[in-house]
C-alpha cells in the first residue's frame, strides 16, 4: 500500500537502521550507537515530512504516525528489546500503513507485567 507513498530510500534506511541496531544488540554493542542510529531514522522521517506537500494528507498522516512511533523508541524506561520493537513497529507502519500497537503492548506487558491487587471489602450500602 505505502510503496507509492513512502520513498523506497526511506524504507531502505529504516530497514538498515533496524538491522544495524539488531546486530549491535546481539553483540552487546553500544547503547549510544543504537540511539544515534535511531535518531538518524527519526531525522529522515522529519525531513520527508517537511518536503511533503500539504495536499498529500495520507502521506502526512503516515509520516506523522511513523515519527510518533519512532519517538517512542527513545523512551528512557524501555529496555533495549522494546526500543527495537518500537523501531520495527515504525518500519511496519511505513510498509503497511497500519499501526502495530498490539505487538508493542504485548511485548511491554510480557516484559513488565502490571501488578494487580484485589481490594477486599464489602459492597457499600447507601442509606
With respect to residue 57, please indicate whether it lies within any of the assigned structural domains.
yes
What are the pLDDT tens digits along the chain (127 aa)?
444 689 999 999 999 999 999 998 888 878 888 888 889 999 999 999 999 999 999 999 999 999 998 888 876 667 778 888 889 989 999 998 877 665 455 455 545 444 444 555 555 555 5
At residue 121, the pLDDT reads: 56
Overall domain count for the chain: 1
Task: Write the DSSP symbol of residue 77.
Answer: T
Is 119 a member of any domain?
no
Report CA-CA distances (Å) from 124 to 116, 117, 119, 120, 127: 22, 19, 13, 12, 10
- Assess if residue 104 is contained within a domain: yes
Q: Are the CB atoms for 59 and 5 separated by under 8 Å?
A: yes
What is the pLDDT, as a whole number, of residue 86?
Answer: 87
Q: Is residue 25 part of a domain?
A: yes
pLDDT of 16 reads 96
Cα 79 to Cα 76: distance, rounded to the nearest angstrom: 8
Question: What is the residue range of 83's domain?
Answer: 8-111
3: in domain: no
- The whole-model pTM stands at 0.73
Q: Is residue 117 one of the residues assigned to a domain?
A: no
Amino acid at each position: 500500500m505505502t510503496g507509492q507513498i513512502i520513498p523506497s530510500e526511506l524504507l531502505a534506511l529504516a530497514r538498515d537502521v533496524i538491522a544495524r541496531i539488531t546486530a549491535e544488540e546481539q553483540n552487546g554493542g553500544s547503547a549510544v550507537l543504537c540511539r544515534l542510529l535511531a535518531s538518524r531514522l527519526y531525522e529522515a522521517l522529519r525531513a520527508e515530512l517537511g518536503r511533503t506537500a500539504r495536499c498529500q494528507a495520507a502521506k502526512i498522516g503516515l509520516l506523522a504516525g511513523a515519527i510518533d512511533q519512532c519517538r517512542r523508541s527513545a523512551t528512557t524506561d524501555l529496555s533495549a528489546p522494546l526500543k527495537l520493537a518500537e523501531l520495527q513497529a515504525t518500519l511496519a507502519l511505513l510498509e503497511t500503513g497500519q499501526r502495530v500497537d498490539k505487538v508493542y503492548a504485548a511485548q511491554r506487558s510480557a516484559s513488565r507485567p502490571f501488578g494487580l491487587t484485589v481490594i477486599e471489602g464489602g459492597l457499600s450500602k447507601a442509606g
